[in-house]
Structure 1
Amino acid sequence: MDLYFHTDLEPDVTNLEEEESRHLIKVLRKKEGDTFRLTNGKGMICKATILTANPKRCEVALSERETQQAPPPMALAIAPTKNMDRIEWLTEKAVEIGVEALYFFDSEHSERRVLKTDRLERKALSAMKQSLTAFLPRIEGLMSYEEMLEKAASYKGKYIAWIDEDVHDHLFDIADFEHSCIVLIGPEGDFTPEEVEKAKGAGITPVSLGNKRLRTETAALAALHTLSLLNR
């Protein structure tokens, strides 16, 4: 059954926003009495029954509420690429895999110094509904590298992916996902040695993602997939 989004699932009767109403009534041609599922993006899912099939303000009755158990926090911190399409693609795939938070930061070799998150948030919402999950990730950006290190401090497992011949430990072999985990991914030109030293000083462990040189968004997806395998 399709999944739709509404922020407040507490009332017995509520009205959907126009975008969701239009898709239900105009695109899917749902009628009064038809049912579907709603989530608030915070773990709750409920059954919704259409009372008034209005494409601008669909009225629904809510019932059969249930709350999904939240997975351990799995976060990604990344220096955004110059190509916005690649950032949007990564956001979609990260949500499908199950990321809890997406942080964007400015690195010395960054090619993008401005990032608007409006479209990314819409992409995340769409991906959440498509993958039938009940948790909408937090998206924050663009922050300084030092601010990112402060964010990372709250996670138990903290890793920075770095292409260096002295880094041999693969993320899969050393990641600790008992409580929470975050991986930092650098820009196309990678982190500078100074940035890696700052990360190590903040308790973040350098890791390898394999012996191939990956694009920024590919490395990010590889890291998240690795963590998701550890969190099965």
Structure 2
Amino acid sequence: MHLFYQPDIPAGTLHLDDEESRHAVKVMRLKSGDSIQFTDGKGSFYTANITEAHHKKCAFEITSKEDVKPHSTFRHLAIAPTKNLDRTEWFVEKAVELGVDRISFLLGDHSERKVLKLDRIIKKAIGAMKQSGQAFMPQLDELTSVKNFIKEVQADHKFMAYVDFENEALLKDRLVSSASNLVMIGPEGDFSEREVEMALAAGFVKVSLGANRLRTETAGMAAVHLMNLV
């Protein structure tokens, strides 16, 4: 069954938004009395019956609720968006499908993309959450400088994936279960020496993702996958 999304259920909203209503009524041709399933993106699934099948405001009545436990490991991925935005959007879709709790976007010294609009990326993330049948919508952060991010972020274990083939510390061996893990991925030109020094001084551990040189979005996918395997 198709999964709908209504984040304002906890606040008492009992109808789908414009886009979801249009899909339910115009595309799926659902009618009053039909059963639907949706998530609030905050850890709960709901089953409901449609009470008014309007294409702009599809109202419903909740019949059951199921709460889902969050993942035992908090998975935070910080990544510099690629010059080609399609590659960043692809990464977000796949990362959400795999499972991630927070994605932060970084502006580094070597970043080619200086501006990032979250609206389209959020839609991609919502679509991936619904398609993969998940109850949690990850937090998506606005673009911020590596310097500010390093200063402000909190996590039990902080890692910087850096192209350094002399570094034998593999991320897969350093991640810790039942804790918050943060992995930071740099832009196409990688982190600058200045950024590496700042991160190490702030308690980050420099790690490797393996022997191969990976594209930014591939490195992000590898890190998310490893965090899910912990």
Note if contact 2:46-2:66 (Cα within 8 Å) is conserved in structure 1. Answer: yes
> Secondary structure at 1:141's aligned position in 2?
coil
TM-score, normalised relative to structure 1 = 0.94
Q: What corresponds to 1:4 in structure 2?
A: 4
Q: Equivalent residue for 1:144? A: 145
The residue correspondences of 1:50-69 to structure 2 (distance < 5 A) are: 50-69=50-69
Secondary structure, aligned partner of 1:159: strand
User: Counterparts in 2 of 1:102-113, with a 5 A limit?
Assistant: 102-113=103-114
Distance 1:13 1:180 in 2: 32
Superposed, which structure 2 residues align to 1:154-193 within 5 Å? 154-193=154-193
SS in structure 2 of the partner of residue 38 of structure 1: strand
- Whether the 8 Å CA contact 1:9–1:46 is kept in 2: the answer is no
Equivalent position of 1:196 in the other structure: 196
Gaps of 5+ in 2: none
Mapped partners of 1:12, 1:161: distance in 2:
42
Are the structure 2 counterparts of residues 151 and 128 from structure 1 closer, same or farther at C-alpha, using a change threshold of 3 Å? Answer: farther
1:39 aligns with 2:36: no
For residues 3 and 48 of structure 1, what CA distance do their matches in structure 2 show? 11
Deviation string for 1:59-92 (max 9, x for gaps)?
1111211211112320110111111111111111
Q: 2:135 maps to what in 1?
A: 134
Q: Deviations over 1:76-120 (max 9, x none)?
A: 101111111111111111111111111111111100111111111
Higher deviation after alignment, 167-176 or 13-22: 13-22
Runs of 4+ in 1 over 3 A off after TM superposition: 10-13
Question: Distance between the aligned counterparts of 2:30 and 2:193, measured in 1?
Answer: 57
Give how far 1:12 is off.
Answer: 7.9
- Cα RMSD for the two superposed structures: 1.5
How far does residue 213 in structure 1 lie from its aligned partner after superposition? 0.7
Amino acid at match of 1:123: K
Seen in structure 2, the aligned counterparts of structure 1 residues 13 and 49 have a Cα distance that, compared at 3 Å, is farther
CA distance in 2, matches of 1:172, 1:216: 18
Task: Provide TM-score, normalisation by structure 2.
Answer: 0.95
Q: Secondary structure at the match of 2:142?
A: strand
Task: Mark the CA change 1:46 to 1:108 in structure 2 (over 3 Å): closer, same or farther.
Answer: same
Find the residue that maps to 1:136 and give its secondary structure: coil
In structure 2, C-alpha distance between the alignment counterparts of 1:10 and 1:194, rounded to whole Å: 44
Q: Deviations over 1:14-48 (max 9, x none)?
A: 22111111111111111222112111111111111
CA contact (8 A) 1:12 1:61 kept: no
CA drift of 1:11 comes to: 7.6
- What percent identity do the matched residue pairs reach? 44
